[in-house]
Amino acid sequence: MSELGVVESFKVTFIVRRFNPETDQEPFWQDFDVDMYSTDRVLDGLHKIKWEQDGSLSFRRSCAHGICGSDAMRINGRNRLACKTLIKDLDITKPVYVEAIKGLPLEKDLIVDMEPFFAAYREVQPFLQSTSKPDKENIQSPEQRARFDDTTKCILCAACTTSCPVFWTDGQYFGPAAIVAAHRFIFDSRDEASQVRLDILNSKEGVWRCRTTFNCSEACPRGIEITKAISEVKQATISGVRR
């Protein structure tokens, strides 16, 4: 806590990949020098650029503390949430490179078209399917609940899917986030449609496209063990679901 109260700012150079579809043929890199504090986040830097230097810089953000999933972007070549990336954790002797996440159509500056991402999510039937009609709640033991806890953390930010080399080369691949969404229900003891989802993911563009590069797990701002979840889904397509 010794940092609190100390107010020492320093200059950070951000190099941002810009693209305005109304005026630019191609994206280009633009430098901005910004005064920052060590406790600032990359999102604060982007705001300082937008609010003090160039109001046309466009990006999505909302909660600013890592739970809404709006501001996934590529920071120094890694997919991260801008609001969860602290300046003190970056090497600021060098410029900080910021660009849109890859593999989804670029709309403007740091904004991409999220529709293909959500389309893949919808494909895996990401909702509980159950015919039971209990008077009160469905009963689920703490152990059954723990079985899918990790994948309930997903905030649909797309950091994982857009860090996946398979997804970059084959946009038809469901991608890690959709598999995480499926995993959350496949291993939920209350759900009755696991096999439907497993059949969907056993298809040509399903789990078998995963090459286990672990990019997704490294990118996840929620710390979900995505590669593990994918391998559990792979396993389940072969030997059935063990909850």
Partner 1 sequence: MTTVHHHEYDVVIVGAGGAGMRAAIESAPHAKTAVITKLYPTRSHTGAAQGGMAAALANVEEDSWEWHTFDTVKGGDYLVDQDAAEILAKEAIDAILDLERMGLPFNRTPDGKIDQRRFGGHTRDHGKAPVRRACYSADRTGHMILQTLFQNCTKLGVEFYNEFYVLDLVLTEEKGKTRTSGVVAYELSTGDIHVFNATSVIFATGGFGKMFKTTSNAHTLTGDGVGIVWRKGIPLEDMEFFQFHPTGLAGLGILLTEGARGEGAILRNASGERFMERYAPTIKDLAPRDIISRCMVQEVAEGRGAGPEKDYVLLDCTHLGAEVLETKLPDITEFARTYLGVDPVTEPVPVMPTAHYAMGGIPTTTDAEVLLNNTTVIPGLYAAGECACVSVHGSNRLGTNSLLDINVFGKRAGRNAAAYANKAKRPALPKGTESFVVELIEKMRTADGSESVAAIRKELQLEMDRNAQVFRTEESLSHAQTVIEALRKRYEKVGIHDRGQRFNTDLLEAIELGFLLDLAEVVVVSARNRKESRGGHMRDDFPDRDDKKYMKHTMAYKKGENIALDWKPVVITNYPPMERKY
Q: Which residues contact 187 (CB under 8 A, 6 or more apart)?
A: 147, 148, 151, 194, 232, 241, 243
63 touches partner 1 by CB under 8 A: yes
Under 8 Å between Cβ of 192 and 129: yes
Contact residue for partner 1 among 11, 55, 93, 238 (CB under 8 A): 55
Within residues 76-135, the interface with partner 1 by CB under 8 A covers 84, 86, 107-109, 111, 114, 118, 121-122, 125-128, 130, 134
Closest CA to 120 of 81, 148, 161, 79: 161
30 touches partner 1 by CB under 8 A: no
Cβ closer to partner 1: 109 or 232? 109
DSSP state of 45: H
21 touches partner 1 by CB under 8 A: yes
For 46, other C-beta atoms within 10 Å of its C-beta total: 25
Amino acid sitting at position 148: F
Under 8 Å between Cβ of 8 and 26: no
4 touches partner 1 by CB under 8 A: yes
Structure-token pair, residue 158: 């797309």
Point out which span in 91-99, 141-149, 169-177, 230-238 binds partner 1 (CB under 8 A).
141-149
To partner 1, the closest distance from the beta carbon of 3 in angstroms equals: 7
22 touches partner 1 by CB under 8 A: yes
List, as one string, the DSSP characters of 102-159.
Answer: SSS-EEETTEE--HHHHHHHHHT--S-------SSPPP--HHHHHTTTGGGG-----T
Within residues 147-186, the interface with partner 1 by CB under 8 A covers 148-149, 152-156, 185
Give the residues lining the site for partner 1 (CB under 8 A): 1, 3-5, 20-23, 39, 50-52, 54-56, 58-70, 84, 86, 107-109, 111, 114, 118, 121-122, 125-128, 130, 134, 136-142, 144-145, 148-149, 152-156, 185, 188, 190-191, 223
